[in-house]
Every structure is written in C-alpha cells, then in structure tokens.
Structure 1
Amino acid sequence: MAQEYKLKGVTSLDLKPGDKQEVEVEGLEAKVLLLNAAGTVQAIGPRCTHYGAPLVKGILGTNGKLTCPWHGACFNAKTGDIEDAPALNALPVFKTTQRDGAVYITGDAETIKSGNRKPTFKCSTAGASQPDKVVVVGGGSGALGVTEGLREGGFTGQITVISNEGYLPIDRPKLSKALLTDLKKLQWRDEEWYKTTANIDIVQDEVTGVDFAAKTVATKSGANIAYTKLVLSTGGTPRLLPLQGFKVLGNIFTLRNVHDVNKIVAAIGEQKGKKIVIIGSSFIGMEIAVCTSGGNDVSVVGMEKAPLERVLGEKVGNIIRKNVEAKGVKFYMSAGVDKAEPSGSDPSNVGYVILKDGTKLDADIVILGVGVAPATEYLKDNSVVRLESDGSLKTDEAFAVVGLKDVYALGDIATYPYHGPGGEGKYVRIEHWNVAQNAGRTAARHINSPHLKPEFFTPVFWSALGAQLRYCGNTQANGWDDVVMQGNPDEGKWIAYYTKGDTVVAMASMGADPAMAQSAQRMQLHKMPSKKDFEGGLDILSLGPPQ
C-alpha cells in the first residue's frame, strides 16, 4: 500500500537538470535517488538492477538518460524503464512533494526497500485467430534482450525460445569470471516467471534447419515449429586446436556453457596446486587465469606480444599483464603451440603442452580460449540464406537479416553496420554480452514498431582482470592509429582513448568510474571530445552531463 515518507535532510526540490543525490528515507532502512531528469524532479531506485552499482555515481544526461557507472546499463530516469542492457528489471519511480521545508515521496514500502521494479506484461492471446508467433533460436543474451523487449513493448503474441543448453537463460559472463555453476545464481529468471509472468515457452531442443519459405524451424527431436517472425541468436562455438594431442587427450577443455564449467571445476577439484595451462590471451583466457590463480600454478600462452593486444593494443595489454602477473600467473607471449602430450602416469590425459620453441609446460588441465566461430552450422546447407565468409549473417541496423523476410540475427552470429564514432556504417561483428542483448532490444522494437528508426547504442563490455576493466566504443570498423593515455597505471587508475585521426573511437579504463558511462553516452550522441582535447589533459568527467 502506497503511503508518504519523508526524505532525511532534504528541504527543497531545487535541483538543476542532470543533478542527483542519494538520500535516506525516514522510517525505512532504505535510500532513493533524488534527481532532475530533463526538468522532472522525482525519486527513483538508487541502484542499478544489474549488479547493484550506485547510480548516484552514474551519468545523468540532460536528456533524462541515466547510465550505470559499472557496466553501461541505461535507464529512462523519468519512467525508470530500461534503455540499454544489461539490466533486466526497471527502476521504481516515486512522486515527490515539497511542503513546510521538507520533501516527501509516495510509494509502497517494499518497493522503496527493493529499489527494483519487475516487469508486468499483458500476454493474453485470447480471441486472436492467427496470433503473431516469434520463435527465438538460442537462449543467450540476445534471447534475453528480444523476449523481454517484446513483452515490454506490448507484444501479446506467442513467444517460443528454443535452446540446446538444458537450462534457462543465464548470466553468461559469470562463467569465465567466477567459474560459477549454481543455476540458481546464474539464471536471470526462474521457470515460473517464463510460464506465468511473461508467457514464454522454453523448449529444450536443438535446431537442425530452417524452412524460410514455409516459415518453420526443424529440431533434433523431429519437431517443426512455425513462426511469423524468427530471431536467430545461437551465439558462438569455441574454436579447437587442430594439433597433435588436443583432440584425443582428456582434461583439455573449452568454456562456453555451464556444462563446460562443471567439467573444469571437477577437474581442478578441491585440492590446490594444479598446473593449469590456458592457451589464448583473449578475454576468456585472461578471466579464467585470474579466477583459477588462487593456489594453482597458472600459465597463459598467447600468440600476441601482449595479452589482449588485438583489442586493447600492446601498451594497455602489458598494463593488464602486470595486474594479472601480480596474481601469480605466468605468461608465454609471442608463442606458438606445437602439441599436447600425455603424462607418463596417465596416457589418457594431458600431461604437457609443448611450444614451438621447445618449451615444455607441465599441465594437469588445459583450457582453450582461442576464440569462437558463429554457431550457424544449421544454416550451412540452406540454399536460401547467404552466410558471410566467417559464417555470420549480414543484417541491417534493426538486425533484420539482409535478403530474408521476417528474420533477425543477434549477437555473435550478426554482422551489422556500425554507426558509432569512426564507424561510417562499416559492417562489424562484435562478440559482447551487451551488444547481443541490446541487439535483441533493437529487434524487439522493430517487430513491435517497424516504422520507428533503430537507435544507435554504444557497445560496452567489462572484464575482471586483476581489477575491473571498462570499455566502450569499437575499433573493428576502421581500426585506430593512436592511444592517448591519462592517469597512472601503477596506481590502478587510468584511461586509454583509442583514436583514428582526431576522432575517439573507443576507450578503456580501470579505477576511473564513471568515465566509461560518460563516454558511452557521449558516443551515442556523437558528442565525444576529440583526440586533441584529451592530449591537452581534458578530464571527461569535468564536462558534466551530455547536452
């Protein structure tokens, strides 16, 4: 039941557009965020509904968009609704009243305490003779974005998600960052939510083909599922090494799903001191190195000069390397792998990894982090669809597949035109959790309202690499030719601005929140400062809310 509560220490609603403050609610062990969202002063939930970041440290634009300082989730501060992933629940909004030198909010006590607003949907298709039916292939981040976006936007037709993973959609980043296996902690929503709240059918099966003319999807169990709109979001397939020993020896793993993590955790066991060799200095490989380093002997083998060099460059890669080495991880860079050999005591399991220069690494466990390929095997023999050279599907800005009617592609399997700074509409394929989920939300808006022009969203990712790395923008479209560094890496506080000419196309940071959130908003609005500005020492947080 809604009632009025006084805000502690607040005497007026005199806030300028973009101003915000976190305040306590008298009589409740709770806080709210008081803000001026594009001229509207009100109170909302104070923490991001993704991982609980304090939104008072986020960026509130004068357009009313509030961006989380940690992972780029964006909310409409007027309505509390989600603008960008990775948050799934909206923020509650509370009416504010000023009288007698005090400020009050009106709301339900439990909602104020939770700071969270779970979505409610109208999903009934009763009375519809031929209701729309969206079929989503894949149960990952893209599926989360499109299904929740559809229902939030008022879609009342049938939604079916077909997933071969054996569980409900999960928070996949926690797999490599924490080797988490508990489905209760991984699954975003429980089965009852899908059945009752969202009226979404989850089918545990594997898609084997699509008849685009008949608008049906065939599955391994023999089912043929009809659709009016089809969303393909099957993610990536981890790459293997076609080298001696890697296909036949045990205790060699890839990491993509909960089943993989269960195998890795079982192989590591409770006893410390395992010799773990990670092949690949990508984000997956580096995150696994960090989360397995406690008490184990961990080595990373990479072909690059520095970890993550392809994305972050050699200079920043070596900053990351130093952080991870502090965890006890050893690196073998500019190194090629020759073969894997068994141990003398157990010929069925890996015992050594041999590098091309002859270096022999003891290995109880080997984990491959050498990239993924678009998981589109079920389309390779389809005469109607055209796959790109890497196996992905080419889409437009709404993530509708080019050349196919009523079909969308999301996430790791989508190559789409990039209109961010320096992008110039060039086609890119970005393997980020946030990109897949935001692509799903974009596709959902297009399905619900095809007349609306798709909005550009800034790609964001984060990584646990001895400290929290934040990144936004994109360098794949046209590359970068310089990096402007600010801060002191030795103190763990720095920002790297990646530039092409005078245009900042991406940024990475550690210990500098909310610089990424500020940059993401400005990139979306095409109001990012120039390379010359940052070379001159400009602090992006000194600029205030984006206009």
Structure 2
Amino acid sequence: MSSERVVIVGGGHGGFQMAANLRSEGFAGAITLIGEEPGLPYQRPPLSKAFLKDGDAARLHFRPQAFFDTNNIELMPGTRVSRINREARHVTTATGTEIGYDHLVLATGSRNVRPPVANLHLENVLSLRNLADAADLRARLSAARHVLVIGGGFIGMEFAAVASDFGVEVTVIEGADRLMARTVSGAVSKHFLALHEGRGTRVRLGRFVSELLDDGTGRVAGVRLSDGTEIAGDLVLIAAGVAPNSELAAEAGLSVSNGIDVDTLLRTSDLSISALGDCCNFPDPVSGNRVRLESVQAATDHARTIAKRLTGKPAPYTAVPWFWSDQSHFKLQIAGLGSGADEQVALEPEAGGLVVINFAAGRLISVETVNSAAAHMSARRLLASGRPVAQAELAAHNYNLVDYARAV
C-alpha cells in the first residue's frame, strides 16, 4: 500500500511509534498524525517522575520537528477527531475538516477516572495525564505542605515518592487492601509499602474518600473518609485509575468491550482500521484471554506489529509485555503477566532488592523485580524464547534466573 494514506488518531507514544515504524519499515505513502495536544509528540512516563523534578519539557520530545519534515509525516497537533465515516473512509475533526484515509489507526489512549467523591472541583485538586497537568502539579507542589494522594497505583506511588523527595508530607489513600493491587503480587505490594513507609509516607489501605473538604475559600483543606475520619492536606492528587478512550470507535460501530476489540494482528472489526495501546484489548498470546495493557512498551510493540502488516510482512503480536515504575531509588520491573499465578517464589538477592517469580500449573508466567535489572532481562529472554520454563528446572538452579538463562 505504498501509494496509500495512513491516518493515525492519537499523538501519544503509540501514535508516534506508529508513524516512525511505518517509515522504518519502508512505507512510502502519506502519513498524517493527529493529536489533541499542542506541540510535538512527547513521552508521558517521565511526567510523574523526572519532569516533576527538573521541569524540562523539551527533553520529553520524541524527535524535533526536523524528523517529521524529513520523514514526510504530517503533524496535526491541537486537533480533535469527532467522527469516523467508515463508508467514505474519512475522519472529521471538531472544526468540520474531513481527512480521508486508506487505513486508519486508532491510538486514542486512555483518560483518568474521576471517582465518586464530593467537591472534586475545589482548588488544588489535580490529576496527572498530560504535560499541562504535570506543569501545573509541579508549580503547586513547591508550595504544598501536606499532599494527599487518592489511589495507590503506579502513578500515585510515583508521585508520592517525588513529593517525599521534595520534603513534603505525604499520605496515600487506597481503597484496596494493598498497593498497586491490580498490577503486582502481594509480595511486591508489601515490599513497596515498607519502602514508602520507611521514607515517612503514610499509607491508608482499605479506605475510601467520600468528600474533599473546603477551607471556606474554595481551596481543598483535606479529605473525609467513608468512615468519617478526616485528614488535613493542602494539595490532592486524584490517581484512581484510567479508562480506555474507545467512544470514537464505538460511535463508528466498531466492536468495543473493555476498549476497542482487535485480533492478533491488531485489526478491529473493520479491516481498514487498526487500534493499539491503552485503548484496545487483544488476545494474550500466552493465555488466549483478552487483555488491555496500559503500557508504553505494549503500545510500541503494537505499533511495530501494525507497521509490518501494512508493509506486507504480517505477523501476530506475540511480544512479551513488560512494565516498569520508578519510585525514588527503587525500580520495579515486570516481565510477563502474572494473573492466574497459583504459586510464587520470592527472593531477596541484595539489600533493598526483590525478585518474585510467578508460576501457573508449574510453568513460569511472569517475574517481578525491584532493583534487579539482570534478573529482569533474563526473565524477558526466557519468556520471549517460546520455550516453556518448568518450575522444577528453575528450582534446580536455586531460582537464579541469570544462571538458568545462561545454562539453557
């Protein structure tokens, strides 16, 4: 399809990688990249970490404008797509402009969930999803005395670590009975609870916020929990999870469940439209279950899969998913998906480090590590090999992933 036009809706990590991979795979047709935010496409993971510390937005850009000019990638920043016309094969922007496509890629990402909490409109109640959010949060953090974080997932805990590094008092309030419960094992949750509490952060587990307190001038003064407990605070971060941006696809009549439904080649129910990243759910190549991953690496691998297909080299998406979270000096890395694990082995190979190996029916399915890069890389190699790794084999090597990976 070298003479055709690919339109990409979504200027985040997945959208940028889609455009770049098309060119690197030899696609010679027109590429249009449409994003709602102004400016050049940029990295989002540093927003909750490095950017809050240095405030350098220029360092976030994937590439300078010259890259897009040289590769003939048309950028349309500050543009919202409001409709897909599948019959005519064009998208319509909020201003009424129609843009035709031969193939459409939806990289619309996800959005922050707004929990059912009263008074979310108060001043100094923030969320963190884009560069504007991060810049606002950074400016307000410098004047804060006590930060309250609603949500103990990756973003909430990454921000809590930064705020603590700034010397600000921090309290995290999480409805589940452990931190990062949707993503990590109990052993990792317990490990990070101890790490954060050791740094002075207060963590309230199994608690829900029912109301934000007004100081009488429209600014937040704290929170009231569902049990009536009040906790004072002058800055609140809402980090209660995300939801896929799949409405555009649903309104166009595409199959949508927990995100946009795609097959192993990342094709939607309309073969002229693909979807990638946070906004789509796909068959996990290991379990066969449909999953939706909120992961930069998944978006990158999805983009690579679609680019190869559109340039005549189709191959199913089979990449091993991996994730990371930097929380102060502690780097959490996860290879594979641990859902369905029925046995775990936890090791502490060094001070402050942790390796949790997850098995299902005696077979390795995922590995979680803290400050153990070698074990993480070995796990990724083993999971990517396609060769089942039996628990008994690892046990014979004292569960040393590095040694085992070298031996096989």
- Give the TM bin, normalised by the shorter chain: over 0.9
1:487 maps to which residue?
A: 348
Which segments of 5 or more consecutive residues in structure 1 lack a partner in the other structure? 1-124
Partners of 1:484 and 1:535 within 8 A in 2: no
1:539 to 392, 400, 407: 400
2:112 maps to which residue?
A: 238
1:327 maps to 2:327: no
Whole-Å separation in 2 of the counterparts to 1:333 and 1:261: 26
1:200 maps to 2:56: no
2:129 to 248, 251, 256: 256
Q: CA deviation at 1:469?
A: 0.9
Q: CA deviation at 1:213?
A: 1.1
1:290 to 152, 157, 161: 161
Cα deviation digits, residues 385-414 of structure 1 (max 9, x gap): 2211x3x1111111111x202211001111
1:497 maps to 2:372: no
Moved more, 175-184 or 149-158: 175-184
The residue identity in structure 2 corresponding to 1:200 is I
RMSD value, Cα? 1.8
1:404 maps to 2:270: yes
2:149 maps to which residue?
A: 278
Q: CA deviation at 1:144?
A: 2.4
Cα deviation digits, residues 45-103 of structure 1 (max 9, x gap): xxxxxxxxxxxxxxxxxxxxxxxxxxxxxxxxxxxxxxxxxxxxxxxxxxxxxxxxxxx
Whole-Å separation in 2 of the counterparts to 1:281 and 1:300: 7
Change (3 A) 1:314 1:512: same
DSSP 3-state at the match of 1:201:
strand
Whole-Å separation in 2 of the counterparts to 1:517 and 1:343: 50
Cα deviation digits, residues 121-174 of structure 1 (max 9, x gap): xxxx9xx9xx21110000112112211111111001111100001122212110
Cα deviation digits, residues 257-302 of structure 1 (max 9, x gap): 0011111112223x4x521100011001110101111210111100
2:21 to 149, 153, 161: 149
1:209 maps to which residue?
A: 83
Cα deviation digits, residues 192-240 of structure 1 (max 9, x gap): 21112x1101102001010111110111122111111110001001000
The residue identity in structure 1 corresponding to 2:178 is A
Q: CA deviation at 1:528?
A: 5.0
Greater RCO between the two (CA within 8 Å, min separation 6)?
2
Partners of 1:168 and 1:190 within 8 A in 2: yes
Whole-Å separation in 2 of the counterparts to 1:509 and 1:202: 38
The residue identity in structure 1 corresponding to 2:372 is A
Whole-Å separation in 2 of the counterparts to 1:190 and 1:316: 38
1:385 maps to which residue?
A: 254
DSSP 3-state at the match of 1:309:
coil
Q: CA deviation at 1:546?
A: 8.1
1:357 maps to which residue?
A: 227
Partners of 2:266 and 2:317 within 8 A in 1: no
Identity over aligned pairs, percent: 27
Partners of 2:6 and 2:29 within 8 A in 1: yes
The residue identity in structure 1 corresponding to 2:400 is D
2:243 maps to which residue?
A: 373
Partners of 1:279 and 1:302 within 8 A in 2: yes
DSSP 3-state at the match of 1:292:
helix
Whole-Å separation in 1 of the counterparts to 2:7 and 2:236: 37
Whole-Å separation in 2 of the counterparts to 1:448 and 1:340: 52
1:446 maps to 2:309: yes
1:308 to 173, 180, 193: 180
The residue identity in structure 2 corresponding to 1:261 is A
The residue identity in structure 2 corresponding to 1:249 is L
Whole-Å separation in 1 of the counterparts to 2:200 and 2:63: 37
1:101 maps to which residue?
A: none
DSSP 3-state at the match of 2:266:
coil
Q: CA deviation at 1:352?
A: 1.3
TM-score, L = length of structure 1: 0.71
Where in structure 1 do 4 or more consecutive aligned residues deviate above 4 Å? 544-547
DSSP 3-state at the match of 1:241:
coil
Whole-Å separation in 2 of the counterparts to 1:237 and 1:464: 21
Partners of 1:484 and 1:534 within 8 A in 2: no
DSSP 3-state at the match of 2:283:
strand
Change (3 A) 1:292 1:179: farther
1:156-167 aligned within 5 A: 156-167=28-39
2:300 maps to which residue?
A: 437
Whole-Å separation in 2 of the counterparts to 1:544 and 1:485: 18
1:4 maps to which residue?
A: none
DSSP 3-state at the match of 1:202:
strand
1:218 maps to which residue?
A: 92
Whole-Å separation in 2 of the counterparts to 1:355 and 1:534: 45
The residue identity in structure 1 corresponding to 2:282 is Y
Q: CA deviation at 1:508?
A: 0.6
1:506 maps to which residue?
A: 366
DSSP 3-state at the match of 1:438:
helix
More helix by share: 2
DSSP 3-state at the match of 2:74:
strand
Partners of 2:175 and 2:208 within 8 A in 1: yes
Whole-Å separation in 1 of the counterparts to 2:38 and 2:98: 19
TM-score, L = length of structure 2: 0.94
Q: How many residues align?
A: 402
The residue identity in structure 2 corresponding to 1:409 is A
Whole-Å separation in 1 of the counterparts to 2:10 and 2:176: 32
Q: CA deviation at 1:538?
A: 2.8
Q: CA deviation at 1:455?
A: 4.9
Moved more, 499-508 or 275-284: 499-508
Q: CA deviation at 1:454?
A: 2.5
Whole-Å separation in 1 of the counterparts to 2:33 and 2:352: 42
